Amino acid sequence: MAKRKRSDDVDRLSELPECLLQDIMSRLKARQLVQTCALSSTWRRLWLTAPCLDIDAGEDDDEEEDEELDKFDDFVDSLLLRRGACASPLGTLRLSLPSSWPIWMRLLHDRSYCRSHTRWIRRGLRCSPATLDVSGIKLPPLASGPGTHRLNKLRLHNVCLHKDFEKHLSAGLPVLQDLEIRGTEMSKISRIASETLKNLIVDEGTRLHFLVDAPRLASLHLVVQFRRLGVFAVTVCEAASPVEASIHFLDKPKVRQVHGSCYYHQDDKDLLIALCKLLRSLSNVSHLELSGFGVAEQHIPDLPSPGTRFPAGFYRTTVRTSDDDLLPRPMLQAILDEKQNKLPQLANLKTLVLDKCEIGDNIQTLWSFLHNTPTLGKLTLNNCGCQEFQYGAAASNIFKMGCTISSLKLVEIKHNARDDHEVQYTAQMEKILSMVQRDLPVATKIHVTKVKN
């Protein structure tokens, strides 16, 4: 009688289908990936064809030790050289150097440290990745070559851009479709131009002053934190017709905020004009989301006496031309009231989402905005407020403004369930609901939803 083969001798991993094996290997860090070669003879060279390389300099517990850093550096060099010699193209190359310091501070502290890891990107590009995801590294030139002919996704977080990044973006990445830039200094970027770019995400930055020139642009998403922002002036070329766009403010605009020994130079009037120009450049958008458009700055303190140091958190503006400008008002209303850059008709807008926005007492700011959206079909109000203001549109009834909203079929009013106990918040929600019910056509459906965070 033949002996039954022990279950311990069965190589069940190698029996898995190839697509599942590749998926498993794509979830491993670089060192774990290479260690799989010890599992069996089938896995000895399988790691060379893995569709994803995730190189994380923080995966070792002893990453602060110079000797361990040198060993990891040698390991990555060898890994990328062997992977680059493989005929199988790479799907995703992820390079990360986690640190609590911004990249510019690390460059000041140790330029050689950052230069040595820039080499990883150069060698990684020889693997012809379709996606390049970089964090905490200084970028080398991304010029057109054998390593960029497949690159269609570029994700950058806390990186130092090459001085010719703008030029390489327009001429050196022939198939780029998705560009994501987060927490990165963009002061030298005045133009984001690409004939193939479809999706653009810019998340924070100290200077956002650029023109988007992308005729195939389908989506644009901006996240702005005014606490660290010096200048904001983003516009989109008229030739582009993005399908969807979102503008998310993480905090309130604080004009000319002093931070250390310097202060910001963009006054609130310039900011309003810049926001209005951005919305004008998105006149063909069909899905628009605005988040954090709250109340314009209310308090403007006097200038300190000559020779006195600017205190932390001090705000100042240019001389106002009208007493009305001194009064608080919703930011959306301030944009609508901007005489030189009035908001145009958003003729193709089908869906509008307002998140944490101030829509004005009697929601007249909302109605003023809807006056420019004749084809709007769906409106979502998520945690919006309706404070009382001395300044704003006098008309609270949308029909008195001559605005036709017959196309509006659905209004969603969402709010956090945890805020139900707050009397002021509950009163505002009831007020918004009653105003919407009063002014909307009977045929419009209204849904009220509690969201649990």
Query: Is 442 inside any structural domain?
Result: yes
pLDDT range class, residue 453, cuts 50, 70, 90? low
* Residue 217: both structure tokens together: 């642009």
**Does the global pTM surpass 0.75?**
yes
In DSSP terms, 121 is beta-bridged to none
Q: Where does 267-341 have alpha helices with state H?
A: 268-281, 331-336
Query: CB of 206 within 8 A of CB of 231?
Result: no
* Residue 144: both structure tokens together: 């057109």
d(CA 79, CA 56): 13
Query: Is 404 inside any structural domain?
Result: yes
Query: Is 421 inside any structural domain?
Result: yes
Query: CB of 311 within 8 A of CB of 304?
Result: yes
CA within 13 Å, CB half, 279: 26
Assess whether pLDDT exceeds 80 at residue 241.
no
Least confidently predicted of 251-260, 343-352, 382-391, 444-453 = 251-260
Residue labelled with tokens 């919305």: 279
Assess whether pLDDT exceeds 90 at residue 200.
yes
Query: CB of 117 within 8 A of CB of 158?
Result: no
- The whole-number pLDDT of residue 111 equals 56
- The whole-number pLDDT of residue 63 equals 46
pLDDT range class, residue 76, cuts 50, 70, 90? confident
Query: Is 91 inside any structural domain?
Result: no
- The whole-number pLDDT of residue 389 equals 65
User: Residue 92: what are its φ and ψ, rounded to 5°?
Assistant: -135, 130
pLDDT 10s digits, 337-367: 766 567 778 889 999 999 999 888 778 788 8
Query: Is 206 inside any structural domain?
Result: no
Element (H, E) at 132: strand 131-135
Assess whether pLDDT exceeds 90 at residue 274.
no
- Rounded mean pLDDT, 207-225: 92
- Helices vs strands, H then E, count in the chain: 10, 18
At CA 138, angle to CA 51 and CA 175, rounded to 5? 50
Give the list of residues 6+ apart from residue 427 with CB closer than 8 angstroms, or none. Answer: none
pLDDT range class, residue 201, cuts 50, 70, 90? very high
d(CA 95, CA 68): 18
Single out the residue of 360, 313, 301 nearest to residue 335, CA to CA. Answer: 360
- The whole-number pLDDT of residue 6 equals 53
Measure CA 23 to chain center: 28
Single out the residue of 217, 107, 214, 199 nearest to residue 155, CA to CA. Answer: 199
Determine the structural domain holding residue 401 and report its residue range. Answer: 350-453
Number of domains the chain is built from: 1
- The whole-number pLDDT of residue 222 equals 95
DSSP 3-state helix, strand, coil percentages of the chain (rounded to 5)? 30, 20, 50
Query: Is 183 inside any structural domain?
Result: no
Phi-psi domain of 201 (left: phi exceeds 0; alpha: psi -120 through 50; beta: other): beta
d(CA 145, CA 148): 6
Question: In the chain, what's the furthest Cα-to-Cα distance?
Answer: 103
- The whole-number pLDDT of residue 313 equals 43
- The whole-number pLDDT of residue 84 equals 79
* Residue 65: both structure tokens together: 């030790």
Give the list of residues 6+ apart from residue 442 with CB closer than 8 angstroms, or none. Answer: none
Residue labelled with tokens 């653009």: 200
Single out the residue of 422, 432, 446, 340 nearest to residue 387, CA to CA. Answer: 432
DSSP string for 152-214: -EEEEES-B--TTHHHHHHHT-TT--EEEEES---TT--EEE-SS--EEEEE--SEEEEEEE-
- The whole-number pLDDT of residue 177 equals 96
Query: Is 419 inside any structural domain?
Result: yes
pLDDT range class, residue 114, cuts 50, 70, 90? low
Query: Is 171 inside any structural domain?
Result: no
